[in-house]
Homo-oligomer: A and B are copies of this chain.
Amino acid sequence: MDNQINQDKNMKIGWIGTGVMGFWMCRHLMEAGYSVTVYNRTKEKAKGLLEMGAKWADTPYGAAKEADIVFTIVGYPKDVREVYFGESGIFKSCAEKGGKYLVDMTTTEPSLAVEIYEKAKETGCRALDAPVSGGDVGAREARLTIMSGGDKDVFDKLLPLFSFMGKNIKYTGKAGTGQHTKMCNQIAITGIMIGMSEALIYGYKAGLNLEDMVNTIKGGAAASWSLENYGPRILKGNYDPGFMVEHYIKDMGIALEEAKRMNLNLPGLTLVHQLYTVLKAMGHGTSGTHSLVLALDKLSGAGFAEKK
C-alpha cells in the first residue's frame, strides 16, 4: 500500500473538521476519488460533503475507525486535544487498529504536535503536523501553503494527497516544525499588518488620496501580499474575513507562549497581539484580520472608520 497512496483510491479517509478551510480541502480529496467519512461538531457544515457522498460519523472515533488516513483541521488546541485524546477520539481507533496515518492540519501548539506524534507511534500509527496558510481562498482554489513536520518517509507517502489541497508543500523537519514554521509565518504577518494599518491611518490624517498612496507604495520596498490583497478591501470598508481576528489571536497566543518558553522577547508580536485584543473587544472577533486599522483608528480617534 505504502507506495500507492496516490493511485489507490480504495484508501479510506477520515476527515475531522469541515469549517471554511476543511470543507474545501476534504472536497478536493473527494473530487480526486477518495472515499471519505467526515465528522464535524456542527453537522450542518458538512452537508455539502454528505450530499457529494461522504459518510457521516457521530464522533472523531467513528470517522477514524475504518480509515487508513485521518485528517484533522479544527479550531483551538483544546479541540485538537479532544479530537485526538478524548473518550471518543482518534487514538481510541488507533488502539483498536494500528497502521493509520494521522495528519493534524490545525494551527496548534508545537508541543501538542509532538505529543500526538509520540502517542501515534505508541499505538503503531504515524503522525504529521501540517498546518496551512492561504485562507479560505487558498483552500477553495487548492493553492494552500502546507508546512509539514514529522518523519520524512511519512511526508513522502502523503505528499500526493497534500498536492490535491496545496501548491507550496514543504517538509520542515521533525515533529512540531510544521507548527513552528506556521508560527514564523504568523509572526511575520503581525508586523506587516501593523505597518500597513499605521500607514493608512497616517495617510488618512495627512489628507492623502489613499488609493493613490497604496498604489504608489505597493510597487516598491513596502510591497507585501497583505497590502496588495487587503489594501483595496480596507479602502472599500470591507472587513469580511479572509482570516478571522479571533483565530489570529489564538495563533499569536501560541507564538507568545512558545516565545516565553524559549526566553524570547518579541515586542512587536506582543504589541500586535494586544491591539488585536482591543479589536476583538470592539466587537471585531469575527471580522477579517485586516480590520486592525480600526483598532488603531479607535486609539487615536482619527476618524478613519467614518470616512466615506
- Interface residue ranges, A against B (CB under 8 Å): 110, 133-135, 138, 145, 147, 168, 170, 172-173, 177, 180-181, 183-203, 205-209, 212-213, 215-217, 219-227, 229, 243, 255, 258-259, 262-269, 271-272, 275, 296, 299-302
Contacts and interface: CB of A to CB of B under 8 A. Distances in A.
A205 B177 CA distance: 12
A236 B248 CA distance: 31
Contact of A185 (B187, B221, B258, B299): B221
Please report whether the interface of chain A is mostly helix, strand, loop or mixed according to DSSP: helix
B168 A219 contact: yes
B198 A266 contact: yes
Number of copies: 2
A213 B191 contact: no
A163 to B, nearest CB: 15
A79 B299 CA distance: 35
Given A177-B206, A185-B220, A194-B268, 6 more contacts: A173-B207, A184-B208, A192-B195, A223-B225, A265-B296, A265-B299
A296 B269 CA distance: 12
A232 to B, nearest CB: 15
Contact of A195 (B177, B191, B200, B201): B191
Given A266-B198, A271-B271, A181 B216 contact: yes
Nearest to A214: B184
A222 to B, nearest CB: 4
Contacts of A110: 206
**Which 5 A/B pairs are nearest by Cβ-Cβ distance?**
A191-B195, A194-B268, A224-B224, A188-B222, A223-B225
A256 to B, nearest CB: 10
Given A192-B195, A266-B201, A266-B202, A222 B221 contact: no
For A197, A220, A226, A299, the residue with the greatest tally of chain B CB atoms inside 10 Å of its CB is A220
